[in-house]
Structure 1
């Protein structure tokens, strides 16, 4: 079936069919006519040829979405937010997972570029990122999600990380904690830099409170377990840990159990990101909740705006983070550490 068949069935011109079946132009057609066209297309089993339309409009109506780890509960809500915004605008997301591997990321980027996606939403950003810098030089439309890069001024959508970490530190100090550790993520992540800086600044505002940064090689459960295990084996345990994300926090809880310690009786723990499963942990995890779905939606909105205007803006959107207090934080029992 062709567009001419649909036009004949609906009793309209082919151009009207084209506009009525295109999410970007359907508003130009009378609603009753558009419904008639859609009904005719459905009855005939007509499906628009996206390749042919792309050749006419120089647009594939697809967006490449590159994610570092789809098994991380942080990212599926972001992808859902992206698709939620794209679908009503006639766009489809093509999703690629990199497992944090540079070669896989490059292969995914090149493959999606070969499919002539109209732009990218990239959540694999690092402080210095050759692939992103190369995309910027080539004029590729990109919006960074969750993590940014210092190499180029691409737009970034993130949570208010600094405010979230500050709230976590203030909460722990308010409970009486004076010896805090922050398990930071990899040093080349902008999220790690922002959260670490906020932790030190927040600790510095409280007299008699010490704060230590402990970098981790990854934002994973295993990394949190290994780093906390190292602290405990050297008798260097704090009374409270602010983890760089919820998965690190889960690793901390495992390390505490392995060393015969209890949370929050011996060590209080705060996570970051607000994964759905954190409420079901033992104990339920105090965490900084970030609006991941809304972040994905906002990234898609910024990207489609840039594509429509054929501009590459430099905008940073920081969505509010909220401290969710649960049972993994309490007043420290070691009186010597309480002022």
Structure 2
């Protein structure tokens, strides 16, 4: 009855046993089997916000890879409180999860400490710690922001602002670092006046941060934003101030989350392959579960720029604007020009600045 051991006996015997089991209405008792084997063939996927569009492709990628090894996946939303995270992960552990894929990591993370101290097989995905204690599958955030700034500079923009994500998360921290490095490489202003940190990676956070940025730098011509959700909030802020995207202010997002090509204007963004990231995290977890002393591996996937309609050549002055834009509605232009990504960069060893995030 066990698919993993059927190859040990003849195919005709397997067929006869399965037919007899079906006739008798027999079903394999997974709970009883886990007591005997010590494994449940269940993996927990722990996310901070199940409503975020980036987690669906990530879940698809990791589920496909784990299914090939007969593992099932349980997705759990833990919110953004440390106490809530620890309580739910403790419960998952008590239910005999064989391993965890954590999309919740902070740069210094108590949940990682809990997993390490309790011998729980776990890996990180999309975010990582500042100092590696678990293997991780992430994207190159420094490179992602360089692509965004290079694109804006190529269009003639010189007054470029940045809406950063929370700095206790690797994605927010490294994308801000990438923005500063890219600005400096082009001889542009890296003053903190051009940078506004959002309270959270969501649309409201982007809206509030964009308003503050526009108040401080009224002649801003472009904004490189740390995520697509934050960028949607920036769209809202421009509309509120009677400004147009991209005629008055160009915007570049990060992630290329599902349906971001359907907003108005379709968003220029930096693509992260979240399905590949999920599959990579699953592979790392399988290696970790098979061998507890498995060396740490940090696999960094390369991002790519996708040019759509939210960016254009800088103009000399803003033109009067008589009506509001629509921040998120179906658009006629749903295409985009994709700059081909480079092959994924796969690196082993400790996680260093620039090698984690997402």
TM range, smaller chain: 0.7 to 0.9
* TM-score (normalizing by structure 2): 0.83
Give distance in 2, aligned partners of 1:126 and 1:301: 22
In the superposition, relative to structure 1, how do residues 38 and 154 fare at CA in structure 2: closer, same or farther (>3 Å)? Answer: same
Indicate conservation of the 8 Å contact 2:161/2:213, yes or no: no
Give distance in 2, aligned partners of 1:237 and 1:118: 54
* Cα-to-partner distance string for 1:276-308 (whole Å, 9 max, x where unaligned): 211001000001111111111111111012112
Alpha-carbon distance, 1:125 to partner:
0.2
Higher mean displacement: 107-116 or 160-169: 160-169
RMSD: 1.9
- Does 2:208 align with 1:226? yes
Indicate conservation of the 8 Å contact 1:136/1:152, yes or no: no
In the superposition, relative to structure 1, how do residues 292 and 208 fare at CA in structure 2: closer, same or farther (>3 Å)? Answer: closer
Alpha-carbon distance, 1:98 to partner:
1.6
Q: 1:282 is matched with which residue? A: 264
- SS of corresponding position for 2:259: helix
Which among 252, 272, 285 is matched to residue 270 of structure 1?
252
In the superposition, relative to structure 1, how do residues 36 and 334 fare at CA in structure 2: closer, same or farther (>3 Å)? Answer: farther
Which among 285, 289, 307 is matched to residue 303 of structure 1?
285
- Does 2:84 align with 1:93? no
Alpha-carbon distance, 1:38 to partner:
3.3
Higher mean displacement: 59-68 or 244-253: 59-68
Structure having the higher helix fraction is 1
Q: 1:43 is matched with which residue? A: 23
In the superposition, relative to structure 1, how do residues 56 and 197 fare at CA in structure 2: closer, same or farther (>3 Å)? Answer: same
Indicate conservation of the 8 Å contact 1:63/1:118, yes or no: yes
Q: 1:4 is matched with which residue? A: none
Give distance in 1, aligned partners of 2:65 and 2:34: 20
Alpha-carbon distance, 1:333 to partner:
1.4
Higher mean displacement: 170-179 or 81-90: 81-90
Give distance in 2, aligned partners of 1:213 and 1:55: 54
Indicate conservation of the 8 Å contact 2:195/2:213, yes or no: no
Alpha-carbon distance, 1:43 to partner:
3.3
- SS of corresponding position for 1:108: helix
Give distance in 1, aligned partners of 2:139 and 2:240: 33
In the superposition, relative to structure 1, how do residues 31 and 179 fare at CA in structure 2: closer, same or farther (>3 Å)? Answer: farther
Give distance in 2, aligned partners of 1:89 and 1:237: 56
Indicate conservation of the 8 Å contact 1:133/1:151, yes or no: no
Indicate conservation of the 8 Å contact 2:138/2:300, yes or no: yes
Report matched runs for 1:128-277 at 5 Å: 128-150=108-130, 152-208=132-188, 210=190, 212-277=194-259
Give distance in 1, aligned partners of 2:241 and 2:109: 39
Give distance in 2, aligned partners of 1:210 and 1:188: 20
State the structure with bigger RCO (CA 8 A, min sep 6), 1 or 2.
2
In the superposition, relative to structure 1, how do residues 175 and 210 fare at CA in structure 2: closer, same or farther (>3 Å)? Answer: farther
Unaligned runs of 5+ in 2: 319-358
Give distance in 1, aligned partners of 2:7 and 2:179: 49
* Cα-to-partner distance string for 1:136-171 (whole Å, 9 max, x where unaligned): 122211100100113552001012222221111101
* Cα-to-partner distance string for 1:113-151 (whole Å, 9 max, x where unaligned): 110111110000001111211211222111001001135
Give distance in 1, aligned partners of 2:152 and 2:11: 57
Larger Rg: 1
Indicate conservation of the 8 Å contact 1:159/1:320, yes or no: yes
Q: 1:75 is matched with which residue? A: 55
Q: 1:14 is matched with which residue? A: none
Unaligned runs of 5+ in 1: 1-20
* TM-score (normalizing by structure 1): 0.88
Count of aligned pairs between the two proteins: 316
Give distance in 1, aligned partners of 2:154 and 2:134: 38
